Amino acid sequence: MRGPHNIIRLIRTGATFERTGAMKIVLDAFDAGPLLWITLRALVWPFQWLGYKGDLSMPPATRALTALGPAYIKFGQVLSTRPDVVGDDMAQQLRVLQDQLPPFSMDKAKATIARELGASAEDLFTTFSEPVAAASLAQVHKAHLADTGEAVAVKILRPGIEKAFRKDIDAFYFAARTIEFLSPASRRLRPMDVITHFEGIVMGELDLRLESSAAAEFAVNTDGDDGFQVPRIRWHLSSRRVMTLDWAAGDSIGDNAALDAAGHDRSVLATRVLQLFLNHALRDGYFHGDMHQGNLKVAENGDIIAYDFGIMGRIDEYTRRVYAEILFGFIRKDYQRVAEVHFEAGYVPADQDVDEFARALRAVGEPIFGMDASHISMARLLSYLFEVTERFGMETRTELILLQRTMVVVEGVARSLDPHMNIWQVAKPVVESYIKQSIGPKALLRDLGKTAMILSRFGPQLPRLAEEALIRRNNPIPPQRPTTAREQFRWMALGGVLVGCGIWLGTLF
């Protein structure tokens, strides 16, 4: 940790928002009170000369985030899918962060290809376009293969992106430590674990070989999903900093005008994108963790095409069942069962009152049923949920962070397609189907079968294990006194002598 550097980095963050004019816009978007607004302005204003100027052609919020670097851009990408949280104007400003950032030069792109793939772009491709999309970590070019003429997308990491991200993550760690020190109450949210989780995701995204592998696995899992496509990876043209895959032809799922012109039913697309995500998360335990508008297209036949597989989420079978029971309880308005599941899973401390927790959950769930999405304020809902979990001492579940965040993003995408969609009605058939498959009698028999198969592997060893257990029972080992530090040193010295003798004898033979 580099304390002074990180302090300057955080000060510069606030100064950049002030210098670009984004401070007031962001605080207004989050409905910050006048006291907080005045306090922050007073703290930041003297240091605004430290802030980055940014690209003057961009709107204030976008200008500030792009000037601050890739980690801040990632944060802005998430907010761009939540017009109900930040407002329509802010969401529209942030939309350009998904795939419309300034690209790096063609010379650098071709140099990376030559270095990574061992051949020039001219030898590998008959055409190689200017960047068609540029995001926070990489940019994409459209090309045609020299041997087959097929259209492909070539994704190339930004030069020096690893160092830039490391600087941002280092500052985030410092901020998390500071928050935990100054606010003990915040420790239940485990800020350090959250940043560690975020770091793991991002560092995996900076190795395109891992992204290629994720895309291949995701394609196998979703091969039978109607209305969904995953582009094929071209492994011989992929490496750590370059990834080549089939070209995804279609309209951006965020371009409503283009979708309408093509004759697509946006309400059907909204339902499909939400149900696909739930199927992938619950059925497979492996889901696309970055399903914003910039990573989804709609093909001419109406299929949804997903790409950019740098962030993928994985949850185990037990967690999926817990998550499904919680969702199903909300759908059935069985808040008592939802509360019990939280306690059974250890999400809420056992010393809390389960009935009081159920009553608090009812206050969260009831207002959202029977209403369409346009009347639900997700900002107020999340705010109240935070208050409830804080009151009952519920800790942040780091294994569910990506799942929860992606659910918010996917809902935002669906809502942009159909503002009147009720997420609970759309989710109900998927969750009910999973419940029947994973929690009913068939699931119990399947679990017992798996357990029997595991135990059967130890069949040949059972006689020996039983004999050893009987011997230990009839001849218990007497308790040993703890060894002293001097004795431990003697044994370590003897071990070193034996190892040295072994090495010496090895040289003789």
> What confidence tier does 384 reach under pLDDT thresholds 50, 70, 90?
low
Query: What percent of the chain shows pLDDT beyond 90?
Result: 28
> What confidence tier does 375 reach under pLDDT thresholds 50, 70, 90?
low
Mean pLDDT within 296-305: 95
pLDDT at site 186: 57
Q: Would the pLDDT of 243 be above 80?
A: yes
pLDDT at site 492: 45
More confident residue, 202 or 433: 433
> What confidence tier does 149 reach under pLDDT thresholds 50, 70, 90?
very high
Nearest to 423 by CA among 403, 407, 402, 440: 407
Q: Would the pLDDT of 242 be above 90?
A: yes
> What confidence tier does 363 reach under pLDDT thresholds 50, 70, 90?
confident
- Residues forming a β-bridge with 151: 144
- What rounded mean pLDDT belongs to the chain? 78
Give the number of C-alpha atoms closer than 13 A to the C-alpha of residue 453, restricted to the C-beta side.
Answer: 6
Q: Would the pLDDT of 162 be above 70?
A: yes
Q: Would the pLDDT of 498 be above 90?
A: no
pLDDT at site 380: 54
Helix extents (H) in 345-439 = 354-365, 378-391, 401-417, 423-438
What the block records as the tokens of 280 is 């992938």
Q: Would the pLDDT of 312 be above 90?
A: no
Mean pLDDT within 454-463: 67
pLDDT tens, position by position, 92-137:
777 667 666 778 999 999 999 999 999 999 999 999 999 998 877 8
What the block records as the tokens of 238 is 């992929």
Q: Would the pLDDT of 500 be above 60?
A: no
Cα diameter, the chain: 83
Q: Would the pLDDT of 264 be above 80?
A: yes
Q: Would the pLDDT of 82 be above 70?
A: no
pLDDT at site 187: 62
> What confidence tier does 292 reach under pLDDT thresholds 50, 70, 90?
confident
More confident residue, 154 or 291: 154
pLDDT at site 508: 37
Segment (H or E) for 29: helix 22-29
**Which range, of 212-216, 385-389, 474-478, averages the lowest pLDDT?**
474-478
Q: Which of 99, 168, 251, 290 is catalytic?
A: 290
pLDDT at site 501: 44
pLDDT tens, position by position, 404-443:
767 777 888 888 899 888 777 888 888 888 887 777 666 6
Cβ(407)–Cβ(277) under 8 Å?
yes
- Residues forming a β-bridge with 143: 128, 152
pLDDT at site 290: 82
Q: Would the pLDDT of 228 be above 50?
A: yes
Q: How far are the Cα atoms of 46, 172, 173 from residue 43, in angstroms, in the given order?
A: 7, 19, 22
Please state the domain extents for the chain. 3-97, 163-201, 251-453
pLDDT at site 456: 67
183 φ/ψ sector (left φ>0, alpha ψ -120 to 50, else beta): beta
Handedness of CA 27, 402, 207, 7 (dihedral sign): positive
Cβ(113)–Cβ(125) under 8 Å?
no
What the block records as the tokens of 86 is 């930040």
Mean pLDDT within 199-213: 83
Cβ(189)–Cβ(197) under 8 Å?
no
Q: Strand 286-288 and strand 242-246: pairing?
A: unpaired
123 is catalytic: no
Q: Would the pLDDT of 330 be above 70?
A: yes
Q: Would the pLDDT of 216 be above 60?
A: yes
